[in-house]
């Protein structure tokens, strides 16, 4: 479901790249994409639309649509006998739906009371690959995280808006350097209330309780659920930056027993789904993480203000590991378990 979207097309690529065993593939999209042909495994799959009975005979349904559509159709797929892997936020906090990062808590897939398993938000996904091995060793007490989230987190409209604004900014660099923002720019764009090109917007998601955004609260609640620890304290500030692909995070970690850089490095080097960048400047960028499977971690440092705490930098592809890849990995876990 959602086969023609940014994540949907990435999903098709990942299924093909990883050789996932598909006997029959069906692609569902919106009515405007009915009949559209999508490449897959040397051939094509023709887009269908959702309708009563459309899930009959399917073993697995992977969902990448808006929450409201998922709330309506994912239970129908489950009732038809399919296992559903849902990427929307519709079921993430449902106690009968496991919230899974494949490298972190795959055993949670063994119990599916509703025949639905959920993927976390793309920012949580990237972060938890790095945090999980440290938590298992020393127990996370407090996480303070600032995110730098790519425009593609808002889907294709986010990418288009960033690209269009960059084009319109061409020739305005001298004006911008003088901090005299062209007044026309303030009205540009529909995705964000302020221009994203050449800018940093310290507000990702909609504002919720206590002034924190939906993106920030997702980091709080999803981290606790995935790590099975409601005592972890999480404080987040989510920021949108003019990057096309790749979410990055600056993270400060306090533990229930002291941890130093040497131990953290050893744990991260052995962690699945993660590459520790400890050569050169040890500062992986979003551009380096785009298009690759592993989450990149660098700048691991002892916190000089708080012995036993550490700082690190995390970046990963929000479309790939943050969505499509984890969905396929969850399906692979199902095959292994069953």
List b or e across 148-177, with b for residues whose CB sees 16 or more CB atoms inside 10 angstroms: bbbbbbbeeebbebbeebeebbeebeeeee
Same domain, 63 and 210: no
Same domain, 151 and 204: yes
Mean local confidence (pLDDT), 257-262: 97
Q: Domain for residue 177, yes or no?
A: no
Distance CA 59, CA 83 (A): 6
Is 70 exceeded by the pLDDT of residue 122? yes
Domain of residue 148, CATH code:
3.30.360.10
Q: Domain for residue 47, yes or no?
A: yes
Catalytic member of 54, 119, 135, 247? 247
Same domain, 206 and 298: yes
Output the six-digit token pair for 241: 């930056």
Q: Domain for residue 184, yes or no?
A: no
Residue the block writes with tokens 């990963």: 316
Same domain, 137 and 261: yes
Q: Domain for residue 191, yes or no?
A: no
Q: Domain for residue 108, yes or no?
A: yes
The reply to whether 122 belongs to the active site is yes
Same domain, 282 and 309: yes
Catalytic member of 47, 119, 122, 238? 122
Residue 167 pLDDT class (50, 70, 90 cuts):
confident
The reply to whether 119 belongs to the active site is no
Same domain, 140 and 258: yes
Which phi and psi angles does 246 have, rounded to 5°?
120, 115
pLDDT at 90: 96
Is 60 exceeded by the pLDDT of residue 323? yes
Mean local confidence (pLDDT), 151-177: 80
Helix axes 325-337, 6-17, angle to 10 degrees: 50
Output the six-digit token pair for 121: 């938000």
Same domain, 221 and 240: yes
Q: Domain for residue 288, yes or no?
A: yes
pLDDT at 176: 54
Is 60 exceeded by the pLDDT of residue 186? no
Same domain, 148 and 294: yes
Same domain, 108 and 238: no
Same domain, 280 and 302: yes
Number of domains in the chain: 2
Q: Domain for residue 33, yes or no?
A: yes
Give the strands of the sheet with 83-86, arranged side by side: 60-63, 83-86, 116-118
User: Contact, 335 vs 21, CB < 8 A?
Assistant: yes
Of the chain, the percentage scoring pLDDT greater than 90 comes to 87
Same domain, 112 and 20: yes
Is 90 exceeded by the pLDDT of residue 140? yes
Is 90 exceeded by the pLDDT of residue 235? yes
pTM of the model: 0.93
Output the six-digit token pair for 231: 């005592």
pLDDT at 184: 58
pLDDT at 179: 46
**Predicted confidence (pLDDT) per residue in 31-66, tens digit:** 999 999 999 988 999 999 999 999 999 999 999 999
Same domain, 216 and 269: yes
Domain of residue 79, CATH code:
3.40.50.720
**Predicted confidence (pLDDT) per residue in 281-301, tens digit:** 889 999 999 999 999 999 999
Which phi and psi angles does 238 have, rounded to 5°?
-105, 130
Q: Domain for residue 162, yes or no?
A: no
Domain span at residue 47 reads 6-120+324-337
């Amino acid at each position: 479901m959602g086969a023609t979207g940014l994540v949907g097309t990435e999903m098709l690529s990942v299924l093909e790249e990883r050789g996932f065993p598909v006997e029959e593939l069906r692609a569902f999209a919106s009515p405007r994409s009915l009949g559209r042909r999508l490449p897959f495994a040397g051939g094509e799959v023709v887009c269908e639309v959702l309708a009563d009975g459309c899930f009959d005979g399917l073993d697995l349904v992977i969902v990448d649509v808006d929450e409201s559509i998922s709330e309506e159709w994912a239970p129908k797929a489950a009732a038809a006998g399919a296992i559903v892997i849902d990427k929307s936020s519709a079921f993430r906090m449902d106690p009968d739906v496991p919230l899974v990062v494949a490298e972190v808590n795959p055993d949670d897939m063994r119990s599916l009371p509703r025949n639905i398993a959920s993927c976390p938000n793309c920012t949580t996904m990237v972060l938890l690959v790095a945090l999980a091995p440290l938590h298992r060793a020393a127990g996370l007490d407090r996480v303070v995280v600032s995110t730098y989230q790519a425009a593609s987190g808002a889907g294709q409209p986010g990418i288009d808006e960033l690209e269009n604004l960059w084009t319109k900014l061409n020739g305005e660099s001298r004006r911008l350097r003088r901090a005299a923002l062209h007044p026309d720019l303030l009205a540009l764009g529909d995705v964000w209330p302020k221009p994203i090109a050449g800018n940093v917007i310290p507000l990702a998601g909609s504002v919720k309780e206590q002034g924190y955004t939906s993106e920030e609260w997702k980091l709080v609640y999803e981290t606790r659920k995935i790590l099975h620890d409601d005592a972890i304290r999480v404080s987040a500030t989510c920021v949108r930056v003019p990057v096309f692909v790749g979410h990055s995070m600056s993270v400060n970690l306090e533990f229930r027993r002291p941890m130093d850089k040497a131990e953290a490095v050893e744990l991260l080097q052995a962690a699945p789904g993660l590459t520790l960048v400890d050569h050169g400047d040890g500062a992986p960028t979003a551009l380096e993480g785009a298009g690759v499977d592993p989450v990149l971690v660098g700048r691991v440092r002892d916190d000089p203000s708080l012995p036993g705490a550490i700082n690190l930098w995390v970046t990963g592809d929000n479309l790939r590991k943050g969505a499509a890849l984890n969905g396929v990995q969850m399906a692979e876990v199902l095959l292994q378990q069953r």
